[in-house]
Amino acid sequence: MVGVLTVVSLALVTVYFRESDGGALHSLQSTGATVLSPFEVGAERVARPFRDAAGWFDGLLDAKSENRKLKEQLDALRQEVILTQSALRENTQLKKLLTYLEGPTFPKDYRPVAARVIARAPSQYTQQIVVSAGKNDGIAKHDAVVTGDGLVGEVTKVASHVAQVTLLTDPQSAVSALDIHSNADGLLQLDQSGSTLILDRVTKDQKVDRGDVIVTSGFRSGDLSSLYPRGIPLGVVTSVSQTDTDIYKKVQVDPYVDFPNLEAVIVLVKKPGAK
């Protein structure tokens, strides 16, 4: 029995790796994910107030000194805060999304598909989330995913009603980006320590300053083009340094998107006929 299950597991891994995205196992998984998604949505909704309460207590520890002064006020407001925080946070994120959708920076060749975050990859190996929209909503592999703050990542797998999004903070993500002040361009990716985003491949002759805003470059060269539309905000430059031995500058970027607290996102789906 145990041997059979082990062999079946190994067979699943092997077949899953060898077959294409449209293969039988991928289709089966896609159906399974669609069946499971209502349970995940339900569990996420039930747990949200508890998570918010936990987050609230976590924040309380960080602000211990300030908390001492405001303790009397906080005691009275505590219950109210826990009850309303969930709705407020969701409201703020949705407002930001709406501002972005109606703003001039929204790419015109794209149609927005709003989706809720329903699961997160439970490991340190990958930075991925699962969102509650899929093929049936027009989402395809490699579609860009954003929030009102900026770029979140790229769709890497799609099922009928759910899609997997690989975040910008994943070790395998990379985005061609540019500094909107100086037009210096490079590749935004995680550094080797896996903790900081850096703008790589910026040659020493290009000018980048602390506080500069970095956006997607959306390059197009013949048939080759970036997955992401031009002008999506990525982050702000926090430090710039260079050494004599290195041919590139070392540019650290603080992302605009609050990756650990993502709740709602927008998938940018290309309009039919758009280039």
Partner 1 sequence: MILDSTKAAALVFVAAILQASVFSSVEILNGTPDLLLVTIICVALLRGPVVGAAAGFWGGILLDTANLATLGVTSLLLTISGYWTGRYGETTGRDRAHAPFVSVAVITFLYALGSLAFHFVLGEPAPARTVLWSTLFQGIALNLALTWPVYRLARLVLRQVERRERVQRIHALGQ
Which chain residues interact with partner 1 by CB under 8 A? 1-2, 5-6, 8-14, 16-17, 25, 29-30, 32-33, 36, 39-41, 43-44, 47, 51, 54, 58, 118-126, 128, 130, 157, 159, 162-164, 171-172, 194, 260
Q: How far is the CB of 194 from partner 1 (least distance, A)?
A: 6
- Tokens 């407002």 belong to residue: 95
Q: In the bound complex, what is the minimum distance in angstroms from residue 197's beta carbon to partner 1?
A: 16
If the CB atoms of residues 155 and 199 are measured against partner 1, the closer one turns out to be: 155
Minimum separation from the CB atom of position 198 to partner 1 (A): 16
Closer Cβ to partner 1, 31 or 105, answer by number: 31
Residue closest to 233 by CA, chosen among 147, 165, 172: 147
CB of 143 vs partner 1, minimal distance in Å:
15
Looking at the Cβ atoms of 157 and 201, the one nearer to partner 1 is: 157
- C-alpha 137, offset from chain centre: 19
At how many degrees (to 10) do helices 2-18 and 24-62 cross? Answer: 100
Measured distance CA(270)–CA(267) in Å, rounded: 10
38/105 with CB nearer partner 1: 38
Q: How far is the CB of 174 from partner 1 (least distance, A)?
A: 13
